[in-house]
Amino acid sequence: MRCDWTHFLQLVERALPAGPSGLPDLEEALSLVRGRPFGGAPLPWAEPYQQEMPTRIVDVAHTVATYRTASGPHQDLSAARRAVATGLDADQASELIYRDWCRLEHAAGNRQGLHTAITRVQPVNRELDCSLEAETEQLIKELLNDADRSAGRPL
């Protein structure tokens, strides 16, 4: 008997060591994900997977978004957006995925998309009653300053 999670893990284990050439398998693995595992209300038997699954999904989404956002032959911003959306569906509080979202909108030259990503991460952290991670704050400053320079606006 097989389940999507087993297939997801098999694809990921085969793809990760392959680097960017493993992207098709990583993207196929993400295509198996349909929202937050167990809908956020797992049955008692699923408790061991409740933390592992979103963490693994976010890791794969981050890997795909990183490869697909970088300049070069593997760049595909639409694929990066799909990976980010899947990562956020699995864990809406993942700052790692919000950083990926910010980077990809910056790479696309989409200032409005960058602002959307920034405004989406801030209420999540307020709801969790915590500050943005230092890495996220620094990235936001860098990307906004770079976007301002690109638009010819004074800093």
Q: What is the per-residue DSSP string for the chain? A: ---HHHHHHHHHHHHGGGGGGGHHHHHHHHHT--SSGGGG---GGGHHHHHHHHHHHHHHHHHHHHHHHSSSTT--HHHHHHHHHHHHHH-TT-HHHHHHHHHHHHHTT-HHHHHHHHHHHHHHHHHHT-PPPHHHHHHHHHHHHHHHHHTT---
Return the higher-pLDDT residue of 15 and 148. 15
Neighbouring CB atoms inside 10 A of 146's CB total 12
Give the CATH number of domain 4-36+48-150; options: 1.10.8, 1.25.40, 1.20.120, 3.40.50: 1.25.40
pLDDT category of residue 80 using cuts at 50, 70 and 90 = very high
Considering the chain, what percentage of its residues have pLDDT values greater than 90? Answer: 73
Q: What are phi and psi of 133, to 5 degrees?
A: -65, 150
Residue 95 or 48, more confident: 95
Q: Choose among 92, 83, 94: nearest CA to 36.
A: 92
Q: What is the pTM of this model?
A: 0.89
Give the pLDDT confidence score for residue 46 in this predicted structure.
78
